[in-house]
Amino acid sequence: MGKRASDNFKKRFGDPPRIEVIYPNKKLSVEEQEIQSKRLVTGYVGVLRGLLGREPIDKELLGKVGISKALARQGRRRK
């Protein structure tokens, strides 16, 4: 990570970082991968639902349509 990226990371997550990334030591089974994927999708949809104040459409979920315009219409501009 370059100096600029490192500085941005420190600004965003603190120094020392307030997050911890843990990588699994072994490969996940197919069932575990499915469960993990479902949880990630549920979390992602929940975050978008909270930001938009409504159910996100399929194109927003897939990233084909940006949500910044929808947020701007609601008066929630990015900082």
Q: Which of 60, 53, 57 is nearest to 76 (CA)?
A: 53
What does the pLDDT read at residue 36?
A: 92
pLDDT along the chain (79 residues), means of 10: 79 79 85 94 92 90 84 65
Q: Write the DSSP assignment of 9-77 as a string of letters.
A: HHHHHTTTTS------SSPPPHHHHHHHHHHHHHHHHHHHHHHHTSPPPHHHHHTSS-SHHHHHHTT--
Q: What are the structure tokens assigned to 40, written together?
A: 């990630």
User: How many alpha carbons lie under 13 Å from residue 70 in its C-beta half-sphere?
Assistant: 15
